[in-house]
Homo-oligomer: A and B are copies of this chain.
Amino acid sequence: MPTRTGKYTLTMNNGPTILGFASVAGKKESEGPLGHLFDHCHTDTTMGEESWEKAESRLQNEAVNLALGKAGVSNTEIDCIFAGDLLNQCISSTFGLRGLDIPFLGQYGACSTMAQTLAIASVFTESGAAKQTVAVTSSHFCSAERQFRFPLEYGGQRAPTAQWTATAAGAIVIGTQQPKQGAKITVQAVTFGRIADLGIKDAANMGAAMAPAAAQTLTDFLKDTGASPQDFDLILTGDLGLVGSELMEELLEKDGIKIKPVHNDCGLLIYDRVKQDVHAGGSGCGCSASVLCSLILHQLSQGELHKVLFLATGALMSPTSSQQGESIPGIAHLVYLTA
């Protein structure tokens, strides 16, 4: 059973275990620093499908099937799947996973969705509500760009604070048994975030909109557990990018919390920011999912990392809310992983 530690944190006493994980990515991502670590990379944006939306569904389907294969678990052995994405009505998840015949629970936390799906899946596994679950998210540069911003053909200029939505997906199979390969990686605790909105209205500066939520959730976790940033090998946010990462570090420093030596961000890891011309870094719920499900879980599995806080952040806006003059509410959920 999960037990509450402090006000916002749930401690997992049995330690839900990562049985398998996989990442699938696009061409630009394959050319970045993590290219060699993704399980599968595509060389074109449509991936043989008729639309970018269908391509994104394909990413999610492939990530789940690869993760199931690596876990040595079949779809019929999964009690439920927690899935989400950025598209209207979460259609990448629905259409990508409809053939799997697994009880399906759609999640929406914008770019925080990988932490949300992983955290809820962990609670279900820990509490016995599910023996084995899957957490998965995806994003696609082209489907996101035309839905949230402009038609790609328009060739709009991007602000220096803007982030580049990653074409990628990541999936994790969670259970209670020993994994068939690699070190045992377990979820030790999760902290569900509260919405934080400091009034940022610039939709080309999501990092700034999400930084306060990330700082809030991390502060909640540290307060609840009595831990310090230096107790961890890595505090991994995703995806604040360059602007949001610096703002988050500043916000925390005001409260005497110094994370800089152990902090990194999925949006800064997935691309070579300068050479690949992605301005403030990567974003999209496929960004944090694919970085977690490649570099980070690989390093945990290999004993190169031992204690990691995965803190995915989301901007809970829509083009409609921005057009109506609303500010951008941020959220961040935290998952504490150990190996």
Please report the C-alpha to C-alpha distance between residue A86 and residue B89 in the assembled complex, in whole angstroms. 7
Q: How large is the interface on A (under 10, 10 to 19, 20 to 34, 35 or more residues)?
A: 35 or more
Known: A108-B84, A194-B103. Contact between A54 and B129, CB under 8 A?
no
Known: A127-B127, A129-B127. Contact between A91 and B320, CB under 8 A?
yes
Whether the pair A318, B88 counts as a contact (CB closer than 8 A) is yes
Whether the pair A127, B2 counts as a contact (CB closer than 8 A) is yes
Task: Kindly identify which residue among B4, B89, B131, B321 contacts A110, using a CB–CB cutoff of 8 Å.
Answer: B89
Number of copies: 2
Known: A127-B2, A316-B89. Contact between A321 and B95, CB under 8 A?
yes
Whether the pair B321, A128 counts as a contact (CB closer than 8 A) is no
The winner among A1, A54, A106 for most chain B CB atoms within 10 A is: A106
Whether the pair A91, B321 counts as a contact (CB closer than 8 A) is yes
State the Cβ distance, A148 to closest chain B Cβ, in Å: 9
Task: Kindly identify which residue among B3, B53, B193 contacts A320, using a CB–CB cutoff of 8 Å.
Answer: B53
Contact flags A28-40 to B (C-beta < 8 A → 1, else 0):
0000000000000
Whether the pair B103, A53 counts as a contact (CB closer than 8 A) is no
Please report the C-alpha to C-alpha distance between residue A2 and residue B95 in the assembled complex, in whole angstroms. 30
* A233 interfacial by beta-carbon distance below 8 Å: no
Contact flags A95-130 to B (C-beta < 8 A → 1, else 0):
101100111111111100000100010011011110
Whether the pair A129, B10 counts as a contact (CB closer than 8 A) is yes
Whether the pair A128, B128 counts as a contact (CB closer than 8 A) is no
Please report the C-alpha to C-alpha distance between residue A32 and residue B318 in the assembled complex, in whole angstroms. 32
State the Cβ distance, A205 to closest chain B Cβ, in Å: 17
Whether the pair B4, A88 counts as a contact (CB closer than 8 A) is no
Whether the pair A194, B90 counts as a contact (CB closer than 8 A) is no
Q: Which of chain B's residues has its CB closest to A54's CB? A: B324
Known: A109-B106, A127-B129. Contact between A326 and B195, CB under 8 A?
no
**Chain A 66-109 interface residues, beta-carbon cutoff 8 Å to B:** 79-80, 84, 86-91, 94-95, 97-98, 101-109
Chain A residues within CB distance 8 Å of chain B? 1-4, 8, 10, 50-51, 53-54, 79-80, 84, 86-91, 94-95, 97-98, 101-110, 116, 120, 123-124, 126-129, 131, 147, 192-195, 197, 316-321, 324, 326, 329, 331
Given A106-B116, A123-B123, 16 other A-B residues pairs in contact with their CB atoms under 8 A: A1-B1, A2-B129, A54-B324, A84-B108, A89-B318, A91-B320, A91-B321, A94-B316, A95-B326, A97-B195, A98-B197, A103-B193, A105-B109, A105-B116, A123-B127, A127-B127
What are 17 A-B pairs with beta-carbon distances under 8 A?
A: A2-B127, A51-B324, A53-B320, A88-B320, A89-B316, A90-B316, A91-B320, A98-B329, A105-B192, A106-B107, A106-B109, A107-B107, A107-B108, A108-B108, A123-B127, A127-B128, A147-B320
